[in-house]
Structure 1
Amino acid sequence: LGMRFQSATRGEPSEIIIHVRMLDEANVDQQEALGVIGVNLIYGAFYYHQPEKLIASLNENLPPERIQVDMIKFSGPAYAEVDNRLMSLQLVSQGLTNAVMFTADGESVQPAEILHKKTILVERGSFRPVTYATNDMLEGARKIFLRQPEAKEEDLVVLMEMTLENLLAEGQLNHADFLARVDILGSLGRTVLISKFGEYYRLAGYLSRYTNKMVGLVMGVPSLHEIFDEKYYLNLEGGILEALGRMFKSGLKLFVYPLEDDESGGLITATQLEVAPNLRHLFQYLIENGFIQEITDYHRDYLKIFPPDVLARMRAGDPTWENMVPPEVSRMIKARQFFGFRQPVAA
C-alpha cells in the first residue's frame, strides 16, 4: 500500500510505502480493514508531519488482531531527514507488528522477501558491541548447521536479532544507541531482525510462518538454561511442554556455545547443563535426538569476552576493550564515538 504526494508546489514527490498483513479470515473484512488503513495513511501524510505520529495513526479504528504493518518506507523531500530503520523500530514499539527487518545497507524489507523458503540461522544478542565472541559463536554454529543434510549454504539466511525488551533495558528507547548497534552489524554485512519475541518459542513460530526448511537458533549456555526455567511459561496452559513443543515442532535446532566456569575454570557445555530434576529426561531426549547441539569449534580465549565488560572498559577509557572486538568494530566505535566511548586515560 503506498501514498505519493507533493509537499510543495511543483516539487519532487514524497512517498510512503507500507506492507500490511491482513489477519481477518473473510475477504469482506480484509477489504474493510484495508480501506480504513488507506484512509489513515492519506490523512496522516497530509496532517501528521512527524512520521512517528503518522505511524501511530495507521491502526486508528482497527483493533490489533485485524492487521499488522511489518514494513514502512519514507522517501522524498518531505522525509529527507527520516531514518527508515528508526521508523521500523516504531512499528514494533507502537505495537503495529511483532517484528521488522532491514538489510545490511539499512533498507527496510518485508520479511517474506528475505526468509521465504530459506534455511535460517538466528543469533540473538544485545550487540553492544559486537565482540570476537559474538562472531565466534555464530561461525561455530554455522559450521555445524551446514553439516546438517537438510541445510544448503546457497539457501542460508543469517539474522542478528535484537528484542524490544533488550533495547528497553535502560528504561526507554535510545535511538542513538540503537543506530550504533545496527550500523556496526551493517558494517559486518548482517541482516537485522527487531522483535517482541522475548520467548524463543514465539520466535520459532514467527520464522516457521515463512519457511518449512531448517531453522537454527544460536545461543550461549545461560540462554539455554533460561529455556528450561519453568517460570517463563506460567502463561501457557501446557507450561514448558507446550512451549518446547511449539519451539521444536518444525525440526528447529539449538546450537549452544560453551561457558567457562568462573570458579573452576572448566567448561560448561550444552550436554553438561544442570536442569531441574523433573526436566532431566525431557532435556536428555532433546540432546539425544539432535535438537540441542554443542558448538565444538570455538576459540577458548573468546569465552571470557562479555559485552557488558567490553562496554564498561570502553567507557572507563581502558584501551584493553579493543582486544575484545574485531578491528572494523573498534574503528567504527572510535570514529563515531559510539556507546559513550572515551579516549584512553593517559598513563
Structure 2
Amino acid sequence: MSDIKPLLTPKQKALAINLDQNIYGTFAEIGAGQETVRHFFRAGGASNTIAKAMSAYDKDYSNAIYGTEEKNRFVTQVRLKKMLRHEIKLIDERLDNSHSPNRRFFSYANTVTTINYHKTFKGHGWVGLMFQHRPGQAYSEIIIHVKFKENETSLQQETLGLLGVNLIYGAFNYYDNPRNLIKSLYDDIAVDKIEIDMIHFEGPAFPYVDNRLMSLQLVKKGMTDAVVFNSEGKNMLPADILYKKDVFAVRGSFRPVTLVNIDMFEKGLEMFLKDTEGSPEDTVIIFEITTFNLRATGKIDERDFLDRVDVLAKLGYTVMISNFSEYYRMAEYFNSYNTRYLGIAMGVNNLLMVFDEQYYNHLSGGILEAFGKFFRKDMRVYLYPYKDPDSNQLLTSKNLKVEENLKELYKYFIANRRIVDIENYNPDFSEIYSREILSKITHQEPGWETQLPEGVAEMIKERGLFGYKEIISIDEL
C-alpha cells in the first residue's frame, strides 16, 4: 500500500473513496461552505461514504453544538479538535457495525476564515481528519494548519475543497508512508495557492512517526518557509508564539551546540532585554537552523537533523527550521507576525556574509533592497566577537573590514546602533571552534567535552551523535 499510485484527479479520488463500501464517515465544515464534501457528492456513489454533512456556519449554533471557546475564537486548533471528537462520538454512538464489520469510520472537519473584504488579511484555517486505518481500531488523527495565498474567496474555497479530498484519500491510501501522504496533499494544487505551516500525526496508524521529521518535509518540499517546535518536540503554530511578541533569534549549524553559542545567546539576550525594556515573558527565543546548514552531502541528512534538534531540546530551547539562506528573509518572516522588537545574535563571519553583495544578485534592488528588509525600524544585530586562529586578532564591529563601496553604509548602521557589539562575552570561549570540536568527536580525540554546555557531551556519547563511536579496549571484549 505504501507505493504511490498514479496521480488521480480530485473527482477520481472522491469516487474511489465513494466506491469503497468500507469507508464511511461525516463532514463538518465551518467558514467557507461545504467545499470538501461537495466533491464527494458530485463524484457519484456518495451514499456509500457520507453519513452526514453539515456546516454550523452561524456562530451561536456552532457554539450550541461544540461549546464556546476562549475569547470566542472559532478558527483554532482547539475548535477543530472539538469538532472532530464530537462527530466521532456521534458515529460511535449511533452506528452499529455488526452487519458491516469491515467498515472504517472517519470524521473530516475544517474551521477557516477566508480573505477579508479589503484584502488586508488573506485568511487561514485548521483542517483535520480522525479515521480508522483498520476496522475496529482506535482512531488516528491528522491535523493541518493552512494559510491562504489567493486573492479571491471563491478561489480559496476551491483550493480548500481540493486539499480536503487529498487529505481523506491520502489518509486511507498512504497512512503507512506519511512522506507520500504529505506530498499528495498538493496533488492538483500549486504551492503558491496555499501554505501548510503545521502538520501533526497521531494514533495507531502512525506508530513510528516523528512529527519533527514531518515538519521538516513541509520545508523541504516548499510547502512553507519555516516550522517551529518546542523542546518537547511538539509542533507549534508560529503565529501562536510569535504574534506581537519581541523575538530574539540565534542562527547556527549547532553541530554541535557549543559554549560559544550559549554565551552569544545569553549575553545577547541580556542586552536585548535592556534595550527593549522588555520582559522574558514577552520575549520569544528562537534557535534557528536553515536547511542550507543541514546539507552536509548535497541533501538533508535527517538523522543529523534530529541529532541537532535533540541536543537543543535537552537545553530547553524552541527550534525553528527554515529555508532562509539570507538573514533578511528571516527578518521578513518574523515581521510578518507583527513582532514588536527583533534581535538577532550572530558572529562576525555571519555579518560579513550579510555584507556580501553576491547573495543579493537575485534582488532588483540588490544589497540595498536586502538591507531595507533586514535593518527595519525595530531590528538590531548583536555581534559576537571572533578570534582569528591565524592572526590571533579579535574581530569586532570596530575593526571589521567590509567592501569599500559599503563602508559608509556600514558606519551608518554602527552609528545608529543597528549593529552593536556583545562586549561582556566570556574571553575563555574565544578559541572554541565548532568545526574543530566536530572533528575531535568523529575521530575520538580528547578535550572537546569541556567546550560544550553541561550534559551535552554525555548525551553525544550515550546516543552516538555526530559520528561519535565509543572505543572499546581489548580488555573489555
Please state which band the TM-score falls in when normalised by the shorter chain: over 0.9
Alignment check: 8 A CA contact 2:218 2:224 kept: yes
> Superposed, which structure 2 residues align to 1:81-120 within 5 Å?
81-120=208-247
- 1:38 matched residue in structure 2: 164
- The CA deviation at 1:149 is 3.4
Alignment check: 8 A CA contact 2:247 2:339 kept: no
Alignment check: 8 A CA contact 2:257 2:452 kept: yes
Letter in 1 for 2:237: Q
Letter in 2 for 1:222: N
- The CA deviation at 1:139 is 0.8
Q: Which moved more, 1:75-84 or 1:55-64?
A: 55-64
Alignment check: 8 A CA contact 1:150 1:214 kept: no
Tell me which of 265, 269, 281 is aligned to 1:154: 281
| Partner secondary structure for residue 304 of structure 1 | coil
Structure 1, residues 141-192: CA drift from partner, whole Å, max 9, x if none? 1111011135332211110111111111322222221111111100101000
- 2:445 matched residue in structure 1: 318
> Superposed, which structure 2 residues align to 1:111-260 within 5 Å?
111-260=238-387
Letter in 1 for 2:303: A
2: CA distance, partners of 1:66 / 1:31: 11
Alignment check: 8 A CA contact 1:19 1:72 kept: yes
- 2:149 matched residue in structure 1: 23
Structure 1, residues 119-143: CA drift from partner, whole Å, max 9, x if none? 0011111111111111011111111
- The CA deviation at 1:104 is 0.5
Give the aligned CA root-mean-square deviation in angstroms.
1.3
2: CA distance, partners of 1:167 / 1:282: 32
1: CA distance, partners of 2:224 / 2:276: 34
- The CA deviation at 1:301 is 2.0
- The CA deviation at 1:260 is 0.8
| Partner secondary structure for residue 299 of structure 2 | coil
Alignment check: 8 A CA contact 2:287 2:318 kept: yes
| Change in CA separation of 1:263 and 1:168 when aligned onto 2, cut-off 3 Å | closer
2: CA distance, partners of 1:150 / 1:288: 21
Q: Which moved more, 1:221-230 or 1:270-279?
A: 270-279
Tell me which of 11, 14, 22 is aligned to 2:140: 14
Letter in 1 for 2:262: N
Alignment check: 8 A CA contact 1:117 1:211 kept: yes
2: CA distance, partners of 1:212 / 1:325: 32
Q: Is 1:328 the counterpart of 2:477 in the alignment? A: no
- The CA deviation at 1:101 is 0.7
Alignment check: 8 A CA contact 1:319 1:344 kept: no
* Long gaps (5+) in structure 2: 1-126
Q: Which moved more, 1:196-205 or 1:296-305?
A: 296-305
Letter in 2 for 1:309: E
Alignment check: 8 A CA contact 1:318 1:344 kept: no
- 1:267 matched residue in structure 2: 394
| Length, aligned pairs only | 346
> Superposed, which structure 2 residues align to 1:258-297 within 5 Å?
258-297=385-424
Structure 1, residues 47-70: CA drift from partner, whole Å, max 9, x if none? 113000011111111111111101
TM-score by structure 2 length?
A: 0.71
| Partner secondary structure for residue 311 of structure 2 | helix
TM-score by structure 1 length?
A: 0.97
2: CA distance, partners of 1:186 / 1:97: 22
2: CA distance, partners of 1:225 / 1:27: 44
| Change in CA separation of 1:290 and 1:274 when aligned onto 2, cut-off 3 Å | same
Letter in 2 for 1:182: V
Question: Percent identity over the alignment?
Answer: 45
1: CA distance, partners of 2:354 / 2:268: 18
| Change in CA separation of 1:275 and 1:113 when aligned onto 2, cut-off 3 Å | same
Letter in 2 for 1:283: Y
User: Which one has a bigger Cα radius of gyration?
Assistant: 2
Alignment check: 8 A CA contact 2:347 2:383 kept: yes
1: CA distance, partners of 2:297 / 2:263: 27
Structure 1, residues 182-209: CA drift from partner, whole Å, max 9, x if none? 1110010100000000001111110001
* Long gaps (5+) in structure 1: none
- The CA deviation at 1:264 is 3.5
Q: Which moved more, 1:166-175 or 1:290-299?
A: 166-175
| Change in CA separation of 1:86 and 1:183 when aligned onto 2, cut-off 3 Å | same
- 1:55 matched residue in structure 2: 182
Letter in 1 for 2:437: V
Q: Which moved more, 1:80-89 or 1:318-327?
A: 318-327
Alignment check: 8 A CA contact 2:292 2:325 kept: yes
